[in-house]
Amino acid sequence: MTLIAIILATLAAGIGSVWLAALLMGVGLKGGGASVGPQRLLSLAAGALLATAFMHLLPEAFESHVDAHDLFATLLVGLVFFFLLDKAELWHHGHEHSHEHSHGLPSAAGHGATGHDHAAQVQQGRAHTHTHPHAHDHAAAHAHAHSHHHGPKAGGWAVLTGDSVHCFGDGILIASAFMADLRLGVIAAFSVLAHEVPHHMGDLVVLRQTSPNRRMALVKVSLAGAVTALGGLVGYFLVGQLHDWLPYFLAVASSSFVYVALADLIPQLQKRLSARETMAQIVWLLVGMGLVMLVSGAAHVH
DSSP string, 235-295: HHHHHHH-GGGHHHHHHHHHHHHHHIIIIIIHHHH-S---HHHHHHHHHHHHHHHHHHHHH
Confidence at residue 230, expressed as pLDDT on a 0 to 100 scale: 94
CA separation for the pair 34, 21 (Å, rounded)? 14
Residue 217 CB neighbour total at 10 angstroms = 22
Number of domains in the chain: 1
Residues of the chain with pLDDT under 70: 27-38, 89-90, 92-158, 209-212, 240, 242, 295-302
100 within some domain: yes
- Residue 243, Cβ density class (10 Å: 0-12 exposed, 13-18 middle, ≥19 buried): exposed
Does residue 119 belong to any structural domain of this protein?
no
Distance CA 137, CA 146 (A): 14
Could you tell me if residue 57 is inside a domain?
yes
Please report the pLDDT score of residue 37 as a whole number: 63
User: Is residue 125 assigned to a domain?
Assistant: no
Spatial distance between the Cα atoms of 85 and 96, rounded to a whole number of angstroms = 17
Determine, yes or no, domain membership for 149. yes
pLDDT of residue 149: 42
Question: Which pTM does this prediction carry?
Answer: 0.59
The predicted pLDDT at position 158 comes to 63
Supply the pLDDT for residue 55.
86
- The answer to whether position 117 is within a domain reads no
* Residue 39, domain extent: 2-111+135-301
- Asked if the structure places residue 153 within a domain, the reply is yes
For CA atoms 181, 251, 78, 21, give the dihedral sign: positive
Residue 74, pLDDT score:
94
In a domain, 233, yes or no: yes
pLDDT at residue 41, as a whole number:
73
pLDDT at 15: 94
Nearest to 189 by CA among 96, 291, 41: 291
